[in-house]
Amino acid sequence: MLLTRLFPLGLLLWLSSCSPYLHQPLRTTTARLGEETAVTAQLRQLPPPMEPIYVAVYKFRDQTGQYKPSEVGANWSTAVTQGGTSILLEALENSGWFIAVERENVSNLLNERRIIRNSRMQYRQVEDEESLLPPLLFAGIILEGGIISYDANVLTGGLGARYFGTGGSTEYRQDRVSVYLRAISTNTGQVLKTVYTSRTILSQAIDVGLFRFVSFQRLLEAETGFTYNEPSEIAVTEAIEKAVYFMVMEGLADSLWLTDPAYPLETERAVALFRSEQAEMAATNYLGRQYQPMSAIGSVAFGITPWRFQGDVPGADWSCGYDLSVSWQARPWLRTGLGLYYGHFVPRQHQQLGAVGFDWETAWRCLPNDRLSPLVVGGLGLLRATQQSDYDPPEVNHLSARIGLGAEFRIAPAVSIEAVGGYTYLFSDNLDLYENGRFNDMYWQTRLGLRIYLNDR
């Protein structure tokens, strides 16, 4: 039954994101310390500085002007936190590289110092050195910037199926928040360094329901599901902490500040990790997919091709063939070339037909700069029956046309794995010795192969 076929799909949807479902908040919880992000540990593992840097943060605020997206009516709540300054100050403290001086509410600090000084003078009735407060610390660097963008619904999608009131569905939405942070010298006003980080925010919903009549006047209805919205404050915190991390490492790479010479191994390890992450991010787009630009002039491919003949008589079965092709890369997304394949068909039960084929193949790579890309393949060719056959068809040569769909995954810049399924139509109807019906003979084929790109620069 179709219902039994849909059940595994619903079970798969439920198991794929069952963590929130199995940890439902059935009771209130007490207050606790705030959660740490994945970057907090990375900040604490930075090599120690030669000398901490005094910095001032006047304001690190929300510059997006965005409100929370709402499907019903207007929502006047801001999309991101307004406490960016407090988050930045904690990130600076966790890094161990900076000593922050109070500047956001410096007027309150000056008023309090004035009250203390006046009280001491009034108590002692005379101004002496003991009544004076120590001078305020000054910062050599001012940190400026803010949360500069919040993009809602950058990526949305879902999946669902329902049959006679039974089924389930899943939906997801991905938002994106971006942060800029810059360091300014208080001596010259020069902008020493600017860094940019971003973080995605995931929201998802899953539901499964049943609605059907089990008997006369008996209705069964059941439903379950959950929604999960990642806290935007966690995403903003992680983006700010990543900005502080990159500020330290880029300043270290440009010799703006130095690490403690007593920890050379920690410094080398941190710099190597930073360089690796920097190179990875340079090849990654805003959706998180890594770019691998195609610069080859050609390629050579070989693989295994299972195929199944479909003619005018029953008894056809799957058999195996082999292929070899040489292609020219006309464009990063388009290649064309000559292919050779050899194998045996099973057009009829217990009978084999040896065949060798040539075709001119053209393939369209839908995502030329991605590691994983869909493939659309088409071509015209010639199928020739060989003497290694159990019977002799009336015609030796048969023209053919082929079309297929598949995927290509680049395991290295010059090596990829291909999987393609397709259909080949012959322009004749007597390969199996019978001519019957409106359609000519044809065969289905799948292919698993390895492609090596030539002169990949």
**Tens of pLDDT, residues 413-430:** 889 999 999 989 988 877
Distance CA 208, CA 159 (A): 12
Q: Where in the chain is the domain with CATH 2.40.160.20?
A: 298-454
Contact predicate 382/361, CB 8 Å:
no
- SS3 of residue 407 by DSSP: strand
26 CB-side CA count, 13 A: 4
Distance CA 422, CA 381 (A): 14
pLDDT attached to residue 73: 66
**Tens of pLDDT, residues 247-302:** 999 999 888 999 988 988 988 899 999 998 888 888 777 777 777 778 888 999 99
Residue 186: is its pLDDT beyond 50? Answer: yes
Distance CA 94, CA 104 (A): 19
Residue 52: is its pLDDT beyond 90? Answer: yes
Q: Which amino acid is at 160?
A: G
Cα–Cα–Cα angle for 224, 226, 227, nearest 5°? 155
Residue 457: is its pLDDT beyond 60? Answer: no
- Considering only CA atoms, which of 454, 453, 451 is closest in space to residue 303? 451
Residue 405: is its pLDDT beyond 50? Answer: yes
Pick the CATH number of 298-454 from 2.40.160.20, 1.10.1380.10, 3.30.420.240, 3.40.1390.10: 2.40.160.20
Three-state secondary structure string covering 110-176: HHHHHHHHHHHHHHHCCCCHHHCCCCCCCCCEEEEEEEEEEEEEEEEEEEEEEECCEEEEEEEEEEE
Query: pTM to 2 decimals?
Result: 0.75
Residue 51: is its pLDDT beyond 70? Answer: yes
Q: Where in the chain is the domain with CATH 3.40.50.10610?
A: 2-18+32-103+139-282
Distance CA 362, CA 369 (A): 18
Q: 279: buried, middle or exposed (CB in 10 Å: 19+, 13-18, 0-12)?
A: exposed
- Measured N-to-C along each axis, helices 264-282 and 232-253 cross at an angle, to the nearest 10 degrees, of 120
**Tens of pLDDT, residues 140-156:** 999 999 999 999 888 89
CATH 3.40.605.10 for domain 2-18+32-103+139-282, yes or no, is no
Distance CA 379, CA 359 (A): 6
**CA dist 320 → 208, 345, 354, 374, 429 (Å):** 42, 8, 11, 24, 22
